[in-house]
Amino acid sequence: MTSITVNGLYKVFGKHPQAAVKALQSGTTRQELRKKGSTAAVIDATFEVQPGEIFVVMGLSGSGKSTLIRMLNGLLPATAGEVTIDGQTLTSMNESEIRALRREKISMVFQSFALLPHRTVGENAAYGLEIKGVNPSERKQKADEALRMVGLEGWGTSMPDELSGGMQQRVGLARALAADTEVLLMDEAFSALDPLIRKEMQDQLIDLQSSLGKTIVFITHDLNEAMRIGDHIAMMRDGRVEQVGTAEEILRDPANNYVASFVKDVDRSRVLTAESIAEQPPEVVGLSQGPLTAQKLMRESQSSWIVALNRDRTPA
């Protein structure tokens, strides 16, 4: 299974990008750099995406998240730093090597669906396979299977404009699944959908992930969406990654005031479990040890309570 490693990644647009990176490393702010004609979209991003997880990059408009995801498949070259996918360093590849990596390992699902309007739903789903040179019968078989997985069985001969927005996004997802790559990059893939369909797509993605085990990087500006689907979440602001952690870790221990203010309105009941808020007992005692032992342990730990456990370590 495929992992992704990002180390010290920078992307600067405008004048003298390499000099701008050195200035940032020396303490120049993003705002100061902009006055000199350079825009730092991604600044010193470092994180790891484990094989088979949904890794969510979360941030507001202008935080650098969409630039970051385009660097993960080589659509945008890095100004500095490294991106490694399955042990291969993407940032040192030439254009033909990057294209080969995309064909074999990386698929992308766009916010705008990016369907070809003159092709049928089935032909759109098979498009990545066509680029790979897969023969027509195998293409159709894999495309039909991918459409079935996203709930569009029987729609292969329809045209994209006959489908609703939610169905068109499912075609985009089917195209990525049919290509059978190990990495899925999803850039605000559900943000154009209405809330009900969006939740259905989130559920479908979680179900697909549990059965297919893809490595998914998912970009969103919606914190509830991030918390709902992400195994790990990277919080971005002004080009920088402020914190990486599970939803629970970010809620319980925000890295700074920005993250704390961002998550303050999250419905914690959707994220935290009883274990998250349970107080650990100061001491435990087995049922066979009796009240005198319990009293001794309570006196030594200066505690007013103790948990008595059955032999299988469950509370008695």
For residues 271 and 285, membership in a common domain is answered with no
CB atoms within 10 A of CB 21: 24
Q: In angstroms, rounded to a whole number, what is the distance separating the alpha carbons of residues 131 and 180?
A: 13
Helices within 184-279 (DSSP H only): 195-212, 223-229, 247-252, 257-263, 274-277
114, amino acid identity: A
Residue 260 is part of which domain span?
49-116+182-277
Predicted local distance difference test score (pLDDT) of residue 77:
93
Separation of alpha carbons 111 and 210, rounded Å? 23
Residue stretches of the chain with pLDDT short of 70:
1-2, 267-277
Residue 11 lies in a domain: no
Q: Which two tokens stand for residue 33?
A: 């750099």
Question: Closest by alpha carbon to 226, among 252, 195, 188, 275?
Answer: 188
Contact present, 220 and 226 (Cβ < 8 Å): yes
Question: Which stretch of DSSP H or E encloses residue 267?
Answer: none
- Secondary element (H or E) of residue 56: strand 54-58
> What's residue 216's pLDDT?
93
Asked if residue 3 belongs to a domain, the reply is no
User: Helices 165-178 and 136-149 meet at what angle, rounded to 10?
Assistant: 130
Q: Is residue 270 located within the same domain as residue 283?
A: no
Dist. CA 129–CA 136, nearest whole Å:
9
pLDDT at position 121, please?
Answer: 93
d(CA 145, CA 151): 10
Taking a C-beta distance cutoff of 8 angstroms, is the pair 11, 41 a contact?
A: yes
On whether both 260 and 303 belong to a single domain, the answer is: no
109 and 198 inside one domain? yes
Q: Rounded to two decimals, what is the model's pTM?
A: 0.81
Q: What is the pLDDT of residue 273?
A: 64
Q: Identify whether residues 197 and 270 lie together within a single domain.
A: yes
- Give the model's pLDDT for residue 211: 85
Residue 207 maps to a domain:
yes
As for how many domains the chain has, the answer is 2
Residue 143 lies in a domain: no
How far apart are alpha carbons 266 and 283 in whole angstroms? Answer: 34
At 269 the pLDDT is: 64
CA distance 252 to 195: 27
Distances (CA, A) of 110 to 85, 204, 219: 20, 17, 10
Whether residue 172 lies inside any domain: the answer is no
